[in-house]
Structure 1
Amino acid sequence: MKAIMVMFDTLNRHMLSPYGGPDWIHTPNFKRLAERTAVFDNSYVGSMPCMPARRELHTGRHNFLHRSWGPLEPFDDSAIELMGDAGVYTHLVTDHQHYWEDGGGTYHTRYNSFELIRGQEGDPWKGEVRTPDGPLLDHLHPIAKKMVRQDRINRKYIREQEQFPQARTFAGGLEFIESNYLEDNWYLQIETFDPHEPFYSPAEFKERYSHDYEGTLADWPIYGPVTEEPEDIRHMRFEYAALLSMCDHYLGQVLDTMDRLDLWQDTLLIVNTDHGFLLGEHDQWAKCVQPFYNEVAHTPLFIWDPRTGIQNERRQSLVQMIDLPATLLDFFDIERPKDMQGRSLRRTIEADVPIREVALFGIHGGHINVTDKRYVYMRAAVTTDNQPLYDYTLMPTHMRSRFAPEELKQLELAEPFTFTKQIKPLRIPAQTRGNLHDFATLLFDLIHDPEQATPLHDPEVEARLVELMIELMQDNDAPKEQYERLGLGVPSLQ
């Protein structure tokens, strides 16, 4: 048996044709994919954003209640590593540059082999001492400004379509398939950073969305409220659509290869993403600095399981990223670790058998959210300083840096959690997400208000969802201060 995962970053469900995307966006291969797979209509994020989601992909449990962005922990069970230990050859090819930053350095080494493609976003790839031409957006945060500078340099080396990191990533994945399709027991993860911002794509894809535009917004929106004009939003959506069509093109190459080599007979195919992106909806850009509206939280998911033969069917069950490692282990007949909370989707694919009543999702220090498919409840902090909040980790690194000595001076040993294998983690006061204090607790009815335009006031529904939220937090052995931060009033249960 073989398995292939094609993982995109920032893939917007509502812009794909199988999910009712607009006619002007060209995604024929996603439509073709939907005809060959089970299409999940209620897939939701878990831990946000990139590397927290990838920790879930390995461990099958949520990251965001205990820790912010960071590496795999020494006590984590990696499904990828477990597959390798059981004799399944695992290979990763990716242009997702966060894997070689401080906060992502333990993920790609869990695979038997890996290929890292350089050049995406602000990847410190090509070196130039001289400041590149063009405005460097002095109003940006210094880290963002540094990324913009590096991106300007990188693009000098990314001109032709075959030079783009996405193209090279898929070429590497297809090379692996061509070299190994006659072998058995392997897992291939083709993971591209696209269509993550900046929305840089080859001319042949931009031409499909040619439009008149005289503004100054390029292809990299600044996270937060929209301050630009409607024509700027329209322009950015065209830039995203061009990159999305590029993703569709290379997805088609994977489908072509599976057709030509008849891999559908014995190969599991999962096509997924970590989250979506706001392109002006709710008057917001991007993610993480605002609540996780469905444009971000409600994700596309397609699965072909050759054991079931289910294709061109929709599935309504509530699923999340934490279910994918369990599904992979089940496919290769490997026992699921006791700390893995996700469930195999085999029976859900077969007959839409539900695996959960409600899904929990969020970001460390932000709203904690639950959905039962009908409602989405977003619980905000009640404390004005968003405290207390701690990181529990044995790997004290942020996204692009180690924890500073000033942070580590405040650390103490915490008692073990249920999933830390009797190991006491470090307990370190965490950086807060103060910008989210602009947003209160929110409740939305997805049937009567699918665009989440008008918050609902319904104490009975809220009380029911709070009870479910507390149950899930307890199941995840959430730290007691998370209840205090949210005003849930149950720290004594910890």
Structure 2
Amino acid sequence: MKAIILLFDSLNKNYLPPYGDLLTKAPNFQRLAAHAATFDNSYVGSMPCMPARRELHTGRYNFLHREWGPLEPFDDSMPELLKKAGIYTHLISDHLHYWEDGGGNYHNRYSSWDVVRGQEGDHWKASVGEPPIPEVLRVPQKQTGGGVSGLWRHDWANREYIQQEADFPQTKVFDAGCDFIHKNHAEDNWLLQVETFDPHEPFYTTEEYLSLYDDEWQGPHYDWPRGKVSESEEAIAHIRCRYRALVSMCDRNLGRILDL
């Protein structure tokens, strides 16, 4: 057995060419669809983040009795069952919530795991002084101050260190995934899970991908939507361009795996 799971958080099928989207530039998703089963009538149980991961591990609906949270003591975990059956399981992820209080026992189910830092306000880079933050259209509520420990501020501290494509957590996740495959492709009995938090908000990527889309936005910086839609049509069009750009970045990294 040799198996690879590729997981992109908050990837909306309505923005993928195999499902009819004509604007998003994602040739590698098209390429994958041409050689794979495409699910046209499939429905999710729980939505993204930890509830979706619990369902991936257990094969059981999470939302029927609980919301965001860890694996329960009574849960059977797919990677752990494989591990006990002699299959080597490895997780590579930049999903910071795996290591957050209340969500942090999924990674222990694997034989080994690799952590990539810097996504979505991950408490990664220290900044005692205020990090440079441009004028923004809207600060995402529930992402400031206590409660969630200031993800907004930390995200801007991290961005000082995430400028070139090679710096991005997504890129590093796929770097590690490619390294695992190069090292272990001749071995048998392994499962690799390559998981990036993208294209979850904030929709932060490089100019190379942003320039693929005709974004006419002239307003303040805006790449982190949250909650009920209250923005203008112009702001909505802008944020959709940002999302498509991040999907295009995901597409390039998908292609790196397909090329191996």
Structure 1 residues 44 and 139: alpha-carbon distance in aligned structure 2, compared to 1, 3 A threshold: closer
What is the deviation of 1:138?
Answer: 6.7
Q: How does 1:12-411 map to 2 (within 5 A)?
A: 12-22=12-22, 24-134=23-133, 140-141=141-142, 142=145, 143=147, 146-216=150-220, 218-224=222-228, 226-257=229-260
Give the deviation of 1:49 after TM superposition.
3.3
In the TM superposition, residue 216 of structure 1 has moved relative to its aligned partner by: 2.4
Please tell me the residue identity of whatever aligns with 2:103: G
2:9 corresponds to: 9
Q: Which has the higher strand share?
A: 1
| TM-score normalised by the chain length of structure 1 | 0.50
Backbone CA RMSD of aligned residues: 1.6
State how 1:462-481 maps to structure 2 within 5 Å: none
Q: Aligned pair in 2 of structure 1 residues 154, 188: CA closer, same or farther (>3 Å)?
A: same
Amino acid at match of 2:91: L
Q: Kindly state the Cα deviation for residue 64 of structure 1 after the two structures are TM-superposed.
A: 1.4
Distance 2:141 2:79 in 1: 38
Aligned residues of 2:140 and 2:226 also touching (Cα < 8 A): no
SS of 1:214 mapped into structure 2: coil
Deviation at 1:217, TM superposition (A): 5.0
Deviation at 1:67, TM superposition (A): 1.6
Contact 1:217/1:232 (<8 A) preserved: no
| Cα distance in 2, alignment partners of residues 139 and 2 from structure 1 | 41
CA–CA separation in structure 2 for the residues paired with 1:192 and 1:30:
16
CA distance in 2, matches of 1:231, 1:209: 14
> Is the alpha carbon distance of 1:214 and 1:42 closer, same or farther for their aligned partners in structure 2, counting shifts above 3 Å?
same
- Unaligned 5+ runs, structure 1: 258-494
Write the deviation string for residues 226-283 of structure 1: whole angstroms up to 9, x where unpaired: 22211111100100010000000000111101xxxxxxxxxxxxxxxxxxxxxxxxxx
- CA shift, 1:203, in A, is 1.7
Where 1:67 maps in the other structure, the secondary structure is coil
Deviations 1:446-484 (A, max 9, x none): xxxxxxxxxxxxxxxxxxxxxxxxxxxxxxxxxxxxxxx
Instruction: Tell me what 1:484 maps to.
Output: none
Cα deviations by residue, 1:387-407 (Å, 9 ceiling, x for unpaired): xxxxxxxxxxxxxxxxxxxxx
> TM-score normalized by structure 2?
0.94
Larger radius of gyration: 1
